[in-house]
Chains A and B, each alone.
Chain A
Amino acid sequence: MKVTRIIEKYLDGTLSDEEKKEFTEYLEKDSEFKELLQLHAEANRAIGDDAFFILKEKLNRAYQLYETESHSLSEIENKLHKGFNKLNRRILSLAATFLLITASVLAWYLFYNSDTRGDKLFADYYTLYDPDIIYRSFEKSNDTWQDALLLYKEHKWQLADSLFSIILNSDSTDTAALFYSGITDIELNQLERAIDKLQKIINIGDSGYVIHARWYLALLYCKQNETDNARKMLQPLVSENNYYSKKVRSLLSRL
């Protein structure tokens, strides 16, 4: 524990003069100390470097998308190729041109109308929820709430997430916390977590957040190309005259 403390203080840059001497002695005399120092420093980076780990996840998703796109193209190419085998060379040449155009159109279609279409829809309609209205109307006044909303407004998502988790740990059915925590998850690209929380709000019902939860959940379904689920979420919002009515009609027309 003592070694941990002195290394962490060194990495924080908060060693006192006395501790600096101690630190130097450790470095000179303890052969394992250098290894520990490197391990502590790298472990800190592993804890703090969210951009690195988010990119790794995104790369996996890009790979899956690329594979889907490639397989779809090659399947269609194969089918077309078999069909044209019996034709003469001139026709085959024309067919090859046709195939190329078809593949390009298909690639375009896959790109703009599959996963990326979902991403585009999400990007076109997603705006960050402004907490001011809800904050006033619900008059949440405790410190944790105030801090959490402040962090949310300042876009400090990781910290806001910590505070919303604390609130939800003490009351997992707090729909306000579920909602903001869900939006925070979206900002942190934790989409499955966001979906769970927003769905929970709808399941609980009887809350001012249901309409908002439906809207954001529909956008998440769009992003994941689950068009049917997105429609189901939006349908109840069409008939009501609410803040989202216009956007809902516009989004539905594009699904």
Chain B
Amino acid sequence: MKSGNNYSDQALLKGLIEGREEILLELYRISYKTVRHLILSNHGVEEDAKDIFQDAIMVIFQKVRKNELQLSCSLNTYIYSVCRNLWLKELSLRGRTVYQFESTEEITDEDNDIELWQHYNERISFYRKIFEELSEDCKRILKLFMSGETISNITRIMGYSSEQHTKNRRYRCKLSLIQRIRATSIYNELKNESDEDNRKIPGWYAKR
């Protein structure tokens, strides 16, 4: 299916996964104008439009990566629908009513997890921000572990005296990260959302 542009929807989704900048620009060209209009017509400002659009693209990115996206409409329509859902949710959080939503194809039932993916994206973005505040040493060792490097290689790379020391250092760094995250007030808000998500769709967490 084409979105009225030079790329097929499949090509756009493939480019999105590959992070191709010309495809990202194309996504703005085909979809942003209508999303912006929707949000500015419903209590939003430019910054809201920018955020909602980017949140929607990141949600779609996650769903495509997990092979969870089956398009039953054009990608342009789908992006609009995701943005509409996210903006409706945001408005309800802000206690606002909605008075102008354009009619569009409905998102199917299996797409109920859009909000869950958005919450998940919010959480990992926040955790990454806290991670960036750790010492360079801690960041490096945790990165090395997450890249699947062997303990012996990490010990050598980090210049540590023993593998046991490397393991201990890793646990201390991870503990420090977890403690920093839990000490923030934002974490409690994110955690509450996550608990709610787990109640709404049991087993969703395991899917990731």
Chain A residues close to B by CB (< 8 Å): 1, 4-5, 8, 35-36, 38-40, 42-49, 51-56, 58-63, 65-66, 116, 119, 143-144, 147, 156, 158-159, 162-163, 165-166
Across the interface, do B157 and A166 meet the contact criterion of CB distance under 8 Å? yes
Q: B136: which A residues are within 8 A, CB to CB?
A: 165
Q: B177: which A residues are within 8 A, CB to CB?
A: 43
Q: How large is the interface on B (under 10, 10 to 19, 20 to 34, 35 or more residues)?
A: 35 or more
Across the interface, do B24 and A48 meet the contact criterion of CB distance under 8 Å? no
Given contacts A43-B178, A48-B143, 7 further A-B contacts (CB under 8 A): A47-B128, A47-B146, A66-B28, A147-B157, A158-B143, A159-B157, A162-B140
> Would you give the shortest CB distance from B192 to chain A, in whole angstroms?
11
A63 and B36 CA atoms in complex are apart in Å by: 12
Across the interface, do A62 and B24 meet the contact criterion of CB distance under 8 Å? yes
Partner of B131, one of A5, A36, A46, A59: A46
Interface pick from B37-45, B74-82, B105-113, B168-176: B168-176
Q: A39: which B residues are within 8 A, CB to CB?
A: 178, 181-182
Given that A46-B131, A52-B61, A119-B21 are contacting pairs, would A162 and B157 also be in contact in the complex, using a CB cutoff of 8 Å? Answer: yes
Across the interface, do B58 and A56 meet the contact criterion of CB distance under 8 Å? yes
Across the interface, do A55 and B178 meet the contact criterion of CB distance under 8 Å? no
Given that A39-B182, A66-B29, A162-B144 are contacting pairs, would A46 and B127 also be in contact in the complex, using a CB cutoff of 8 Å? Answer: yes
Given that A1-B175, A35-B191 are contacting pairs, would A52 and B58 also be in contact in the complex, using a CB cutoff of 8 Å? Answer: yes
Across the interface, do A56 and B54 meet the contact criterion of CB distance under 8 Å? yes
Across the interface, do B142 and A36 meet the contact criterion of CB distance under 8 Å? no
Across the interface, do A143 and B156 meet the contact criterion of CB distance under 8 Å? yes
Q: A4: which B residues are within 8 A, CB to CB?
A: 171, 174-175, 178
Across the interface, do B22 and A59 meet the contact criterion of CB distance under 8 Å? no
> Would you give the shortest CB distance from B52 to chain A, in whole angstroms?
12
> Would you give the shortest CB distance from A149 to chain B, in whole angstroms?
13
Across the interface, do A61 and B21 meet the contact criterion of CB distance under 8 Å? yes
Across the interface, do B142 and A47 meet the contact criterion of CB distance under 8 Å? yes
Across the interface, do A42 and B124 meet the contact criterion of CB distance under 8 Å? yes
Q: B140: which A residues are within 8 A, CB to CB?
A: 162, 165
Ordered by A's residue number, 12 sampled pairs between the chains whose C-beta atoms are within 8 Å are A1-B171, A4-B178, A42-B120, A43-B177, A46-B125, A47-B128, A47-B131, A55-B16, A55-B61, A66-B28, A159-B157, A162-B144
Across the interface, do A166 and B127 meet the contact criterion of CB distance under 8 Å? no
Partner of A59, one of B29, B57, B124, B178: B57
> Would you give the shortest CB distance from B187 to chain A, in whole angstroms?
8
> Would you give the shortest CB distance from A251 to chain B, in whole angstroms?
21
Across the interface, do B127 and A42 meet the contact criterion of CB distance under 8 Å? yes
Across the interface, do A40 and B194 meet the contact criterion of CB distance under 8 Å? no
The reply to whether the CB of B87 lies closer than 8 angstroms to some CB of chain A is no
Which chain A residue lies CB-closest to B32?
A66
Bits for B176-192, please: 1 = Cβ < 8 Å to A, else 0: 01100110000000010
